[in-house]
Amino acid sequence: MDNDVREFVCKTIGIPFNTPDDFNYRKSGAVDSLGMVRLILSIEARFGFVFTDEDVARPEFNTVGGLVEIIGKETGNV
C-alpha cells in the first residue's frame, strides 16, 4: 500500500517517485497554497478520509515521507 500512496502523492505533487522521503514539497515551492488545497482534496477523495487541522499542522505533513505515513495511519495501512 505504501508504494500506491507514495505514487499517488508524487504524481499529484508532480515530482518523481524516487524523491527522498525528507523532501519538503512546501518549502521547495513544488506546492503553493492553491496546490495544497488541491493536494488535500485529492488525497481525501482518493483514500476516503478527511484530514484534521492537527494533521495539516504537523511538520511531517510537509514532507513526502511524512505525508505517506500520515495517509497510511489514517487508512489503517501502516
- Where in the sequence is the domain holding 13, given as residue range(s)? 2-75
Residues 21-52 pLDDT 10s: 999 999 999 999 999 999 999 999 999 999 99
Cell of 25: 514539497
Q: How many domains does the chain have?
A: 1
> Quick one: what percent of the chain has pLDDT higher than 90?
85
Residue 78's pLDDT band, with cuts at 50, 70 and 90, is low
DSSP string of 42-64?
A: HHHHHHT----HHHHHSGGGGBH
- What CATH number does the domain containing 50 carry? 1.10.1200.10
Q: Give the C-alpha separation, 65 to 24, whole Å.
A: 9
What pTM did the predictor assign? 0.87
Q: Which long-range contacts (CB under 8 A, 24 or more apart) does 47-54 make?
A: 47/5, 47/71, 47/74, 47/75, 48/75, 49/74, 49/75
